[in-house]
A and B are shown apart, each in its own frame.
Chain A
Amino acid sequence: MTKRKMFFRMITASLVRRRSRMLVALLAIAVGATILSGLVTIYYDVPRQMGAEFRNYGANMILLPEGSGAFDNAEVDAALSKIPAASVVGVAPYRYESVTINEQPIVAAGTHMDGARAASPYWYIDGEWPAASGELLLGKEIAEKLSTKLGAELNVRYALTEEDEDHSDLFVKENSRKMIVAGILETGGSEEEYIYMAMEDLEALTESAGELDVAELSVSGSQAELQGYADSINASLDGVTARLVKRVTQSESTVLTKLQALVLLVTVIVLALTMICVATTMTAVVTERRREIGLRKALGASDASIIWEFMGEGLLLGLVGGLLGACLGFAFAQAVSVNVFSNSIAFRPLLLPITIIVSILVTGLACILPVRSATDIDPALVLKGE
């Protein structure tokens, strides 16, 4: 039998046959490692997950026509190709036209309802989102002004004009259509002063297709990333200008930075305290074995070999505890993510070795102090009875 074999035989015997004590130590290390890997995973995932929550604030980038005039869907698609598809939360194109209802001039917006819903999650609809053609969404103020209730039928009229030589509008004809109020929109903002209908309905009413006044984009990403997308759109496309909605992007980065700092600080403090806890437990476990250390010394073990044996045990514990903790930590982070953000979390492979290495380092450090102080002790004193 080689010395190395005996070394491992002693260590495994210590770990296996002193089961209850080693479980205590292993538990401590595993808890520490769980907290480490769990919190670090959360720390890295918070910006992404919270960022998704911040998309609740609605559009953070708008596309406008270059100069005056309009642009079309093809240009929106071209602009969208500059942004990774996974980052786009919602796209809502808008076209505004003046219509009249009950002889009152009203601004009607044509949009894609699904897009508007995704880009402006905060819209509160009394009733239903328009689903079929011929249905309307009425801003709350308009609804009050017209004294209209849900389900009412409104006659929407649009005067078709064309420009004559003097650049003044020339009345051509009037289109009208009866539409049903599917929902009343409450936002607390200027949206309440408009009516919304499907883009196809507005195009039918105005007999012109493909024109857009503005497109609202809700894109997840940091302010810098967003600026990058906007810059590349502005650089490569002539017809459209992309602008960031500063109020949303700037505020988001302010708040998100704070939140991440919060989780970071919490992580650091929790980790520091947990690691000290792990260290004291390990210290207690090792201190308990002073007499054994004394015996080994009496049998002629050098300080170095004693330190190595105990470190060997500690390292093995750190390895197993770290592995266990890394898995439990991921499970915890996953549970947090599912419960808080109803979203699963990405596994970070790098965290596995890091957790194990940190566990090993902490256990190693925690063992080395008491072992060293025990080896300083006179074996005679330790062996002399109690």
Chain B
Amino acid sequence: MFFRMIRGAFTRQRGKMLMIALTIALGASLATAMLNVMFDVGDKVAQELKTYGANITVVPKAASVLDNLYEVEGGDAAEGAYLREDELGKIKTIFWAFNIVDYAPFIDTDASLADGREVNVVGTWFNHYMALPTGETLNTGVQNLRTWWDITEGRWLDESQPDDANACMVGASVAAAAGIRAGDSIRLQGPRAGTTLTVVGVYDSGDSADDQIYAPLAQVQKLSNTAGCVSSIEVSALTTPDNELALRAAKDPKSLSASQYETWYCTAYVSSICFQIQEVITDAVASPVRQVADSEGAIMEKTQLLMILITILALVGSGLGISNLVTASVMERSNEIGLMKAIGANDRAITGLVLTEIVIVGIVGAVIGYFAGFGFAQIIGHSVFGSAIEMKAMVIPIVAVLVVVVTLVGSIPAVRTLLRLDPTVVLHGR
């Protein structure tokens, strides 16, 4: 009979039940959408902040000392300290390899143009294709690390195009001074060799790179006879904002206890990623670019906090909305409850009936709302960040608890109020 009554309530009060379910669904979808976005916003913003370029630089251990001490520039491979080009792939094998978004090696040398003008030539990857030891592939290079460059003429150099092995890109200042245009061929005479390259693009970077020429790594290695060598690596990694532990570890990893070390090593702090890069690249010093790394941390923290507060507001709002409507809908049934009391139902039976109905409606609403909310999260993800928002399992229990608590909070006081009423009062005048 209990179920018959409940079934009756659903089939005969379909409109009303639908409305409650709709409101719960709306509230639940709001909660789901906001929670999903909130949990993912850190990663998404971090990804966006990659536009500032690399946040880690890797240099050979003794490089600066030698360079500055003897003022050697463009010397022999044997003289300077270099990183090994064949080790570059290893960066994608560290513990936090997945967080390494982009990286590019650099080597530079001074060369002279045909008119005798001295210019600094930088060898690097532009859009370099890599087959990783893990079997994955990756395209990486300065095209992703220099997002602020304006290509004023021509296009980005792209290693995957067959002709681009003998191409280069020229900074706006150099191009203006030497009258170089996209499509021109230029002759570069380096300290050890010369080469002729086709200019595929002219860029405006707004910094000192405007006075440089960017060419494929192998070309510059040829100019300075430094085959297999790179002088620095820029790495763009997704990192977690530093905390006290990370700051301590950055100073000296050995000062940590074993469990602290574990935590630090297994968290994507910029210092632990630097440490892991040093482990795989011989004689290298990896250090965070503070301008990028620090700011990134601050901005991510603020954004996350902002989203958390907005989420709390949305949760409170949807919670109040749901419990409000549930209260209203229970109060509305004073007659029915009075009648049930009059024909001898005890309080427990009435409470059980009303709550069961509400909870069933709540579950239906919550399930619909969860999927709708997930859809909303995807709309946000795609239209703002151009990528999907990850489905966090944690959201399901949070939303479930929220809906149950809120419907109960909305209905129990109302049921109690109604139970206190005298059935005759309810049934007669209102």
Q: Does B86 contact A (CB under 8 A)?
A: no
Contact string against B for A residues 124-159, beta-carbon threshold 8 Å, 1 for contact and 0 otherwise: 100000000000000001001100000000000000
Contact string against A for B residues 304-343, beta-carbon threshold 8 Å, 1 for contact and 0 otherwise: 0111011001101110111011011101100100000000
Which stretch in B73-81, B98-106, B286-294 binds the other chain?
B286-294
If A251-B148, A341-B302 touch, whether A188 touches B290 (CB-CB below 8 Å) is: yes
Q: Does A222 contact B (CB under 8 A)?
A: no
Is the Cβ of B332 less than 8 Å from the Cβ of A284? yes
Q: Which residue of A lies closest to B204 (CB)?
A: A246
Q: Which residue of A lies closest to B51 (CB)?
A: A251
Q: Does A336 contact B (CB under 8 A)?
A: yes
Is the Cβ of B310 less than 8 Å from the Cβ of A39? yes
How far apart sit A121 and B184, CA to CA, in the bound complex (Å)? 43
If A57-B295, A188-B57, A336-B309 touch, whether A277 touches B380 (CB-CB below 8 Å) is: no
Q: Does B121 contact A (CB under 8 A)?
A: no
Is the Cβ of A280 less than 8 Å from the Cβ of B19? yes
Consensus secondary structure, chain B interface: helix
How far apart sit A251 and B52, CA to CA, in the bound complex (Å)? 6
How far apart sit A251 and B288, CA to CA, in the bound complex (Å)? 19
Is the Cβ of B51 less than 8 Å from the Cβ of A340? no
Q: Does A72 contact B (CB under 8 A)?
A: no
Interface residues of A (CB under 8 A from B): 20-21, 24, 27-28, 31-32, 34-35, 38-39, 42, 46, 50, 53-54, 56-58, 104, 120-124, 141, 144-145, 186-189, 193, 243-251, 254-255, 258-259, 261-263, 265-266, 269-270, 273-274, 276-278, 280-281, 283-285, 287-288, 332, 335-336, 339-341, 386
Is the Cβ of B206 less than 8 Å from the Cβ of A27? no
Is the Cβ of A144 less than 8 Å from the Cβ of B65? yes
Is the Cβ of A273 less than 8 Å from the Cβ of B29? yes
Interface residues of B (CB under 8 A from A): 16, 19, 22-23, 26-27, 29-30, 33-34, 37, 41, 45, 48-49, 51-53, 56-57, 64-65, 68-69, 147-150, 204-207, 287-295, 298-299, 302-303, 305-307, 309-310, 313-314, 316-318, 320-322, 324-325, 327-329, 331-332, 335, 376, 379-380, 383-385
Is the Cβ of A280 less than 8 Å from the Cβ of B287? no
Determine which of B57, B289, B313, B384 lies in contact with A261 in the assembled complex, contact meaning CB atoms within 8 Å: B384
If A57-B295, A258-B384, A277-B26 touch, whether A35 touches B314 (CB-CB below 8 Å) is: yes
Is the Cβ of A259 less than 8 Å from the Cβ of B206? no
Is the Cβ of A285 less than 8 Å from the Cβ of B317? no
Of B49, B56, B204, B294, which is in contact with the most chain A CB atoms at under 10 Å from its CB?
B294
Q: Which residues of B contact A247 (CB under 8 A)?
A: 52-53, 148, 205-207
How far apart sit A276 and B369, CA to CA, in the bound complex (Å)? 13
Determine which of B69, B299, B325 lies in contact with A53 in the assembled complex, contact meaning CB atoms within 8 Å: B299
If A24-B328, A189-B289 touch, whether A340 touches B321 (CB-CB below 8 Å) is: no
Is the Cβ of A339 less than 8 Å from the Cβ of B309? yes
How far apart sit A224 and B52, CA to CA, in the bound complex (Å)? 19
22 sampled A-B residue pairs with Cβ under 8 A = A21-B331, A24-B328, A28-B324, A31-B320, A34-B313, A39-B313, A53-B298, A54-B295, A56-B295, A56-B298, A122-B291, A145-B65, A245-B207, A246-B206, A247-B206, A250-B206, A266-B34, A274-B317, A274-B318, A280-B19, A281-B325, A332-B313
Is the Cβ of A255 less than 8 Å from the Cβ of B299? yes
